[in-house]
């Protein structure tokens, strides 16, 4: 009986201990363009959320959402800007914290759906989507509210009401105060934005985190490329360690990128890994490039966010920024089905797919090609038949002449 009681108390104590750290994601009714908020609480100030620990997945494939995190008191706050509809997972691996002087790690995972809601208001149909940037801010910092929906928004902040037209935006400064607070934003739904007096440093003083030896010279890759032109691109890296390092695999969720398979970097030196891009449309491609490497028998990976502007010759990238947050249906386009092609202009939308702004038509080139092949085949057979017939006639004529000559020679020999 005492054993059972002891085991019960142990289980209860274990569950209470594990319940101290909580991971919450605010993602109900999340729409493309809105901000995702998450929180890891109950970990204390002596904890660390590594940049490499945070990832977003669509199924098994990594996808890119711009995000940031902040440590306030004993909680880590995370926000991310959603750009398109779909089912995703926010995954945090190897979150480090101090568990009574011992290094401990924990993994978190939470699924969330991004889906736009079409509303019917007084015979008007459309969407209401408020974009909030940044997802948290320091006192006195400017906050930008942008209406990414098709309907106008009535917004109330701190008792002040304003109307933001569709496609419009407004900015406001957060108020100073003695304590951290949440700024309430009331519109089609309520938002709470964290405002801090000063941004805390992530202390992590009781134990050290092993440093990654691979460093990108540019931490965020932005590039303008021409449509329908194969262009070379490159990433420069530095090996900060004392041992040689080898990048053995490069992958990206941007399908138009292709990189060299490997690169060796000597100790305390820099090298460039090359690649190329070819995109046959126009639009904004947002994603990341993952570099997997090994050094001194230890493996690691580095994810570099990438933003590519695919433009027509002479076009400016500023007029494409809005397309990053719009789907094909939102710009009144069509995703052509298999066997159909676009007979006009097409753009790359937030779905990372070609969106046809004209009409999707049947591919007739292959049918024409196959019919031509059939005709050519028949002609070849006819020609071969004629040639064969002529050769047969010729051979028959030659045989008859030879037979006549033989008969003539025989008659001469017999004297008949």
Q: The domain 20-196 belongs to what CATH superfamily?
A: Immunoglobulins (2.60.40.10)
* Whether the predicted pLDDT of 371 surpasses 60: no
pLDDT for res 396: 55
From CA 248, how far away is CA 414, in angstroms rounded? Answer: 95
* Whether the predicted pLDDT of 415 surpasses 80: no
pLDDT for res 151: 92
Positive/negative CA dihedral, 28, 33, 35, 36: positive
* Whether the predicted pLDDT of 165 surpasses 90: yes
The DSSP string of 199-261 is PPP----SSPPPPPSEEESSSSEEEEEETT--EEEEEEEEE-SSS-EEEEEEEESSTTEEE-S
Which helix (H) or strand (E) element contains residue 66? none
Instruction: Tell me the per-residue pLDDT of 48-94, one tens digit each, with 9 for 90 and over.
Output: 787 778 889 988 888 888 888 888 877 889 999 888 899 999 999 88
Instruction: Tell me the per-residue pLDDT of 226-249, one tens digit each, with 9 for 90 and over.
Output: 777 888 888 888 888 788 888 888
Whether pTM > 0.75 for this model: the answer is: no
Sequence-distant (≥ 6) Cβ neighbours of residue 399 within 8 angstroms: none
Determine the topology of domain 214-325 in CATH. Immunoglobulin-like (2.60.40)
351 vs 336, more confident: 336
From CA 30, how far away is CA 40, in angstroms rounded? Answer: 20
pLDDT band, residue 370 (cuts 50/70/90): very low
CA distance between the termini of the chain:
138
Identical fold for domains 20-196 and 214-325, yes or no, is yes
Percentage of the chain beyond pLDDT 90 is 17
Kindly report the backbone phi and psi dihedral angles of residue 196, in degrees, each rounded to the nearest multiple of 5, phi listed first.
-115, 150
Taking the domains of the chain in order of start, what are their residue ranges?
20-196, 214-325
From CA 311, how far away is CA 318, in angstroms rounded? Answer: 10
pLDDT for res 352: 62
pLDDT for res 320: 52
């Amino acid at each position: 009986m005492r054993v059972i009681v002891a085991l019960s108390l142990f289980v209860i104590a274990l569950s209470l201990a594990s319940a101290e750290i909580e991971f919450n994601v605010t993602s109900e009714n999340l729409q493309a363009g809105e901000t995702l908020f998450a929180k890891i609480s109950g970990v204390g100030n002596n904890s660390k959320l590594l940049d490499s620990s945070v990832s977003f997945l669509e199924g098994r494939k990594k996808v890119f959402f711009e995000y940031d995190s902040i440590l306030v008191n004993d909680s880590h706050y995370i926000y991310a800007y959603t750009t398109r509809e779909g089912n995703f997972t926010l995954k945090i691996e190897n979150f480090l914290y101090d568990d009574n002087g011992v290094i401990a790690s924990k993994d978190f995972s939470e699924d969330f759906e991004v889906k736009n809601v079409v509303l019917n208001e007084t015979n008007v149909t459309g969407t209401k989507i408020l974009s909030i940037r940044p997802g948290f801010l320091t006192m006195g910092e400017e906050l930008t509210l942008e209406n990414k929906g098709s309907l106008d928004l009535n917004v109330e902040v701190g008792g002040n009401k304003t109307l933001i037209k569709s496609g419009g935006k407004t900015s406001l400064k957060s108020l100073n105060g003695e304590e951290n607070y949440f700024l309430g934003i009331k519109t089609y739904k309520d938002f709470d934005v964290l405002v801090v007096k000063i941004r805390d440093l992530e202390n992590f003083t009781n134990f050290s985190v092993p440093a990654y030896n691979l460093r990108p010279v540019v931490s965020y890759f932005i590039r303008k490329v021409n449509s329908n032109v194969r262009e070379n691109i490159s990433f420069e890296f530095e090996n900060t360690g004392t041992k040689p390092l080898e990048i053995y695999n490069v992958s990206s969720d941007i399908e138009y990128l292709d990189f060299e398979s490997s690169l060796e970097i000597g100790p305390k030196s820099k090298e460039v890994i090359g690649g190329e891009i070819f995109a046959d449309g126009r639009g904004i491609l947002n994603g990341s490039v993952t570099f997997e490497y090994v050094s001194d028998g230890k493996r690691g990976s580095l994810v570099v966010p990438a933003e590519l502007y695919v433009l027509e010759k002479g076009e400016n990238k500023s007029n494409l920024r809005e397309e990053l947050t719009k789907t094909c249906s939102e710009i009144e386009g069509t995703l052509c089905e298999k066997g159909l092609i676009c007979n006009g202009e097409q753009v790359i939308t937030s779905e990372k797919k070609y969106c046809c702004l004209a009409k999707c038509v049947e591919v007739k080139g292959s049918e024409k090609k196959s019919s031509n092949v059939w005709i050519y085949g028949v002609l070849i057979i006819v020609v071969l038949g004629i040639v064969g017939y002529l050769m047969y006639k010729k051979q028959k004529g030659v045989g008859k002449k030879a037979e006549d000559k033989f008969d003539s020679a025989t008659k001469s020999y017999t004297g008949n």
